[in-house]
Every structure is written in structure tokens, then in C-alpha cells.
Structure 1
Amino acid sequence: MGFGFFSKPFFLFLSFLVFFTNLELYPLVESAPDYTTLVYKGCAKQSFTDPAGIYSQALSALFQTLLSQSMKVKFYKTTTGTGQTTITGLFQCRGDLSNSDCYSCASRLPTLADKLCGKTLAARIQLYGCYMLYEVAGFAQISGMEMLFKTCGATNVAGTGFEERRDTAFSVLESGVVSNHGFYTTNYQSVYLLGQCEGDVGDSDCGECVKSAVQKAQVECGSSISGQIYLHKCFISYNYYPNGVPRRSSSSSYPHPSSSSSGTGQNTGKTVAIILGGAASVGFLVILLMFARGVMKKKHDDY
């Protein structure tokens, strides 16, 4: 028989099968950081001594209470222990997370607190979708307006009218977070914004906190295309998309864009899949015919 059967069309056929067996069609969407991604950690310099395990027990009870509540609500604050071992703590999820995503996010926080901070008198762990903090009784309090963390995009868009557009969007955010009682997201002329205050902060104080965060963003980030500012009692983020806010890959991704852009992204992905699928069918038919032709030619030559 020899190797005459393995003609060029047959190799093309095998190559085609291998290619399309390994091909995966992904919709054309922009990925975003997962809501469980670590943003920053804040750990007190002082650690507690705990030979009898009293602090550890109180802290464990605190975490258990917070996690059980994260399946039901987006914010919860409580206290455990007595006297010097009293520990106050809270968790908060971003306002647009579902209850299941909130729990999934919050469930990572106790382990991260222990891993990143150890047995400190106070700790705060901030993920994209949630955060948790605790303080042992007597720990020095800080101002609600104190900046804990900032990040600014590396790309600058100075001189394009961006600052004016962003500042107008900031004004919309400042009023929106008050009228929506502590959490607000919006798209304004290709600027996506998100603002949230701690759950026990009143509307007026929330507005002042977000206003302070906006001012810090303007100073700290300048003409950066994106930024996040975390104060003790609130945080804001903004992203500028010159070509329009893209669709994100998950309803719980960060940030969460408008549904109108989401529809466009889905249609684009489906269209590409249909085009590739049609091309695959045509290519398969062509190579199949070439393969059959090669087999027939070989049989003719053998005779």
C-alpha cells in the first residue's frame, strides 16, 4: 500500500480538522478585574498578644456573623467580645452585586485578613467588589475623609476636553450618590463613574465624603484616563472610554456599564461567530472535495 494514500489534500484535511478542533470562539468583549481581586490592605502596626486565645475567639465569631449576613444584605456592622476584648467590625459589598456574589466576595475576606495582616489590632481588606474591616476596642479612630488608597491610570488625555467632561460627570456623581442613598453608577459622555459610601453614613455626610474624594481625584490623578480614590467612609472610581463604554464580560465585573452598550457587544460577538462558522463550513466542503478528488485520482493511477 505504501504512503501514496497520504496525498496533499489529505494533509490539508487533517490540518483543517486539528485547527477547528482546537478553535474556540470568544465573544468580542472587554475583560474586567474580577470583583474578588485585591485592591489594597490596611494593617495596624500593633498586634495583640493572645495567650488564652480570647481575641482570636472574638475575631472568629465576628467573621462568622459578618459572613452569615453577607448572604442577605450588602452592609452589616456588629460587635463581639467584652471589655478590652471587644472587637467592632463590618463588611460592605458593592451595591450592584447580587446576594450570591456578595457572599462569594465576602467569604474571601477573613482568610485574606489573617494572611495579609495577622493578629493586628485593626485591619481593612478591600477587594473590587467588597471590603471588611475590624478594630479592637481602644484603637485610635481616623477621619472619615482620610484617604486610604489611590490609583490613577497611566494614560493621560490632557488637552482633549477630557477634564471638563470628567468634572461635569463628577457633579452628576456627587448628586446621584446622595439621591440614591449611598451607591450610584452612571455613564456620562463616555465617562463611567461609580461612587459608594459606607452603609451607616447619612446622605448629607455621604455627599460630603464623595465630594472630598472627587477633589482628591482631580488633584491626584490630573488628566489620567482613569482613577480610584478610597477614603475611610467612601470611594469613587472613574474610567474614560473615548470610543464609548465597552461591554464587560460579566454582570458582576467591575465596572458595570450600561445595558445599551452590552447589547452591542453581544451582537458583535454573535456576528463574528456566525461568520467564522460559515467560513468553516465552506472550507470544510472545499477540502472534502479536494480529498475525494485526490482519492479518485490515485485509484485511476493505480489502474
Structure 2
Amino acid sequence: MAHQHHVVLLAVMIIMLSAMADTDSFIFGGCSQVKFMPGSPYENTVNSLLTSLINSATFTNYNNFTIQPTPSSSSTVYGLYQCRGDLSNDRCSRCVERAVSQLGTLCLDACGGALQLDGCFVKYDNVSFLGVEDKTAVMKKCGPSIGLTSDAMTRRDEVLAYLETSDGSTYKTYRTSGSGNARGVAQCTGDLSPSECQDCLSDAIQRLKMECGASTWGDMYLAKCYARYSEGGRYSRNSNDDSNHNDDEIEKTLAILIGLIAGVALIIVFLSFLSKVCEKHKGGK
């Protein structure tokens, strides 16, 4: 039965990994050229900051911290994280923890670093960047340029236009839209003002339309915001309802798999029992 136990564990791990894959996908990362000495007070300050980001992510999908100088460290360290707007606190904290772990490897001994996973963004530095708009293009990807039909192009433009629309009374840093098969998502980091966020998103969307043209999907990441679109539902999981629905589907699939594995195990035990009975019967003759 130990073998069957391993099979169940394997099935659980596969389901969990598939559920996390969308949030943990690496998008981009970068580090400052300035290094600090390992074991220095600055390293302790950075570790304290990153720990604060992870802890905060269990309660809210955005926060920023400033660690002031201490008698042993003359440098101030600034940091923030921003989770995708549709993530639960649990998924947000897992994503931030994964991003911080990858930052520790990617930006070893660097005074500053930034890393974007599909589900969250983490940045720290000893130069203040909080509340500062930054429209530097850091990553662009375009899908196959097979040429969208005129109807598909219209839907794509409608999706991007909605993402770019700003209503002061319903201002959001995280926005989703859909038209037919076209889907879109956009987000700013929470340290930007509404006007700065709007300016950043408008720039990202215009670059996306210009540089990806008639591609079936496109991603445009600027330093403080991003915009993405797809034809065919590549970003269909963009709302709490969809996220909850997916979690429910994962739980159902897991229950079915465990049920099937348990059923197979019972059949194996039953066949083994019959085999022993038959052997005893033959031995009796």
C-alpha cells in the first residue's frame, strides 16, 4: 500500500503545481550594478525589508516599506510589492515569497533589484523610487503575427480602449476587460497617483498596439505598469469569480483523482485476496 500512497501524493503535487504555474511564471528581473559586502549591516536591512514584504502580502495585495538608517547602517532601503489584483491573500503571499526567493538568487549581493512574476512584482533599492513614475520599457512579447481579422482587431481595440479608460470615481490600479474572444488586463503599482497610473497605462497600451500590431496576443511591461491582451482567452482568469471557479475546479479534479486512485487500490487488494484464496483452494486439493 506504500506505493499507492506515493501515487496519491504525486497526484496532489501535480495539481498544486499546475494551480501555481500561472502566478509563478517568470516575466523579467533586473539588479543594480552596485554591490554590498556579504554580512554587512546593509544585508541585514535588505533581509528585514524583504521579510516585511512577505509578511504584509498575507493581508493585502500591495504595500511599500522604508527601512530607516540605524547606528550600524547608514543606508535607507526602500521596497514594495504588488500582486495581481485578482489574487487571494494566500496566493499573493506565496507569489511574493517565491519572488523574494528568486531575487535572492538573481540579485545576490546587489544593493537593488526588481523581479516580476506573472502574479506579483517585487522591488527594492537604496535609492528612493516610491511614488516616482517610471515608464521605462522593461519587457515586450508579441504572439504570432498571423494577422487578426478585422472583427478580431476591432475587439482587441475595444478591450485596450476600455483598459485605458479612466473614471475618477471608480479608479482602479488593476483593470480587466473582454469583448468576444478578446481579453485584456492592465495594472499599475500602488505607489502611483491616479494621474500617474493613467499616464503609464496609456503609454503601455499605445506601445502595445504599435509594436505588436496584428499579433494574436501581446504583453507590454513598463517599470511601474503593464498591459496585456489576447485573442482566444489567454488571460481568461482575470477576476475573483474566475479565480474561485478555477480553485473549485482544481478541488473537484483532485477529489476525482483521489477517488480513482483509491478505487484502483481497492481493486488491487481485492484481486490479491482472490489470488490467495485460489492458491489455498488449490493447495487444499
Query: Does the pair score TM above 0.5?
Result: yes
1:58-69 alignment, distance < 5 Å: 58-69=45-56
Quote the Cα distance in structure 1 between the aligned partners of 2:184 and 2:117: 17
Q: 1:70 touches 1:103 (CA, 8 Å); kept in 2?
A: yes
Q: Cα offset for 1:165?
A: 2.3
- Please list the CA deviations of residues 87-137 of structure 1 after superposition, one character each: whole Å capped at 9, or x if unmatched: 100011011000000011111122211111211122101000001000113
1:35 correspondence with 2:23? yes
Query: 1:176, 1:184 within 8 Å by CA — same for their partners in 2?
Result: no
Deviations 1:262-296 (A, max 9, x none): 79xx7xx99xx9xxx9xxxxxxxxxxxxxxxxxxx
Matched residues in 2 for 1:165 and 1:105: separation? 32
Tell me which residue corresponds to 2:198. Answer: 207
CA distance in 1, matches of 2:104, 2:127: 18
Identify the structure with bigger relative contact order (alpha carbons < 8 Å, sequence gap 6+): 1
Matches within 5 A, 1:148-163: 148-163=138-153
- Is residue 176–residue 184 contact of structure 2 (8 Å, CA) maintained in 1? yes
Residues in 1 aligned to 2:201 and 2:152: alpha-carbon distance in whole angstroms:
20
Q: Does 1:185 align with 2:185?
A: no
Aligned CA RMSD, in angstroms, stands at 3.3
Which amino acid is the alignment partner of residue 184 of structure 2? L
Deviation at 1:258, TM superposition (A): 7.3
Question: TM-score if structure 2 supplies the norm length?
Answer: 0.70
Q: Which of 206, 213, 223 in structure 2 is aligned with 1:222?
A: 213
Shift of 1:172: 0.8
Whether the aligned pair in 1 keeps the contact of 2:153 and 2:214 (CA below 8 Å) is yes
5+ unaligned residues in a row in structure 1: which ranges? 1-23, 25-29, 249-253, 278-303
**Match for residue 95 of structure 2?**
105
Contact 2:184 2:235 in 1 (8 A): no
> In structure 1, how many angstroms separate the alpha carbons of the residues matched to 2:123 and 2:47?
13
Residues 44-65 of structure 1 deviation map (CA, whole Å, 9 limit, x = unaligned): 22322x2651111000100111
1:73 partner SS: coil
Secondary structure, in 3 states, of the residue corresponding to 1:34? helix
Cα distance change of structure 1 residues 56 and 184 upon mapping to structure 2, 3 Å threshold: same
Q: Is the partner of 2:135 in helix, strand or coil?
A: coil
Query: Cα 1:215–1:99, aligned 2, differ >3 Å: closer, same or farther?
Result: same
Q: Which sections of structure 2, spanning at least 5 residues, go unmatched?
A: 1-10, 12-17, 261-285
- Structure 1 residue 137 and structure 2 residue 137: aligned? no
Could you tell me how far apart the structure 2 residues matched to 1:33 and 1:155 are? Answer: 26
Q: C-alpha displacement at 1:158, in angstroms?
A: 3.8
| Contact 1:193–1:239 (8 Å) recurs in 2 | yes
What's the TM-score once normalised by structure 1's chain length? Answer: 0.66
- Runs of 4+ aligned structure 1 residues displaced above 4 Å come to 30-33, 254-259
Name 1:57's counterpart in structure 2: 44
Look at both structures and tell me which one has the larger radius of gyration over its CA atoms. 1
Q: How many pairs are equivalent? A: 228
For 2:222, the equivalent position in structure 1 comes to 231
Match of 1:127 among 111, 117, 120: 117
Secondary structure of the corresponding residue to residue 155 of structure 2: helix
